[in-house]
Chains A and B, each alone.
Chain A
Amino acid sequence: AQSVTQLGSHVSVSEGALVLLRCNYSSSVPPYLFWYVQYPNQGLQLLLKYTTGATLVKGINGFEAEFKKSETSFHLTKPSAHMSDAAEYFCAVNAGKSTFGDGTTLTVKP
């Protein structure tokens, strides 16, 4: 069995501020972990992934995430938010098929 919990359905930051989107997972096997981004009226797009090896992974658009096994977490960060980052973000765990969290809507204020 596997599940994902995203803490905070809405996060609002100012442009230039740190972005932190939280994700905790459970999995009965070593997980693959993913973050996807969904812009309005578009499909989900892969942002970054963790499979094995280095626990800090970098993705597109300056985002990165750190896999912490002891905390069962895979939080997404970006040092400086840009207006174009406003979107919905989904964390997913995969052990065969992916299970998604309910998403976090990121708003970026000018």
Chain B
Amino acid sequence: DTGVSQDPRHKITKRGQNVTFRCDPISEHNRLYWYRQTLGQGPEFLTYFQNEAQLEKSRLLSDRFSAERPKGSFSTLEIQRTEQGDSAMYLCASSPWTGGYGYTFGSGTRLTVV
């Protein structure tokens, strides 16, 4: 297994445009998580899935953010009408169904909104 893959690694977009990121988790892992990280801060929870079911979404997340995990495999995170405040590193992680294993993270997608 090649670990958790995220695509693209970097994305520069103009304010108001929509962007979509992809995450391919470790195939045996049931859980998939999305986090956002800004400079000087720890990863901030966005949402997570168990198989194809989205179990929780952060209340801090606006309606411009949506995530899917069709068929319980890869996941996409879409941001509509991007704002400069969306500029951050978007991290994907996966784990077996129980949280005691810890997460395997991807390398992240760095989003810059200009």
> Could you list which residues of chain A lie within 8 angstroms of chain B, going by C-beta atoms?
4, 6, 9, 32, 34, 36, 42-46, 49, 51, 90, 92, 94-103
Contact = CB atoms under 8 A, between A and B. Distances in A.
Given A100-B43, A103-B42, A49 B103 contact: no
B74 to A, nearest CB: 17
A43 B45 contact: no
B21 interface: no
A80 to B, nearest CB: 25
B25 interface: no
B107 A90 contact: no
12 contacts: A36-B105, A42-B107, A44-B93, A94-B100, A95-B99, A96-B56, A97-B45, A98-B33, A98-B103, A102-B40, A103-B41, A103-B42
A72 to B, nearest CB: 18
Nearest to B3: A43
A43 B106 contact: yes
Given A34-B102, A43-B106, A97 B41 contact: no
A43 B48 CA distance: 18
Nearest to B92: A43
A94 B99 contact: yes
| Interface pairs A-B: 10 shortest CB-CB | A100-B42, A43-B105, A51-B100, A44-B105, A94-B99, A46-B102, A43-B107, A102-B42, A100-B43, A49-B102
B interface residue count range (under 10 / 10 to 19 / 20 to 34 / 35 or more)? 20 to 34
B100 A32 contact: yes
Contact of B48 (A9, A42, A45, A97): A97
B112 to A, nearest CB: 15
B31 to A, nearest CB: 9
Interface in B8-37: 33, 35
Nearest to B42: A100
Given A6-B42, A95-B99, 15 more contacts: A9-B40, A34-B103, A43-B4, A43-B105, A43-B108, A44-B43, A44-B91, A45-B105, A94-B102, A98-B33, A98-B45, A100-B35, A100-B43, A100-B44, A103-B42
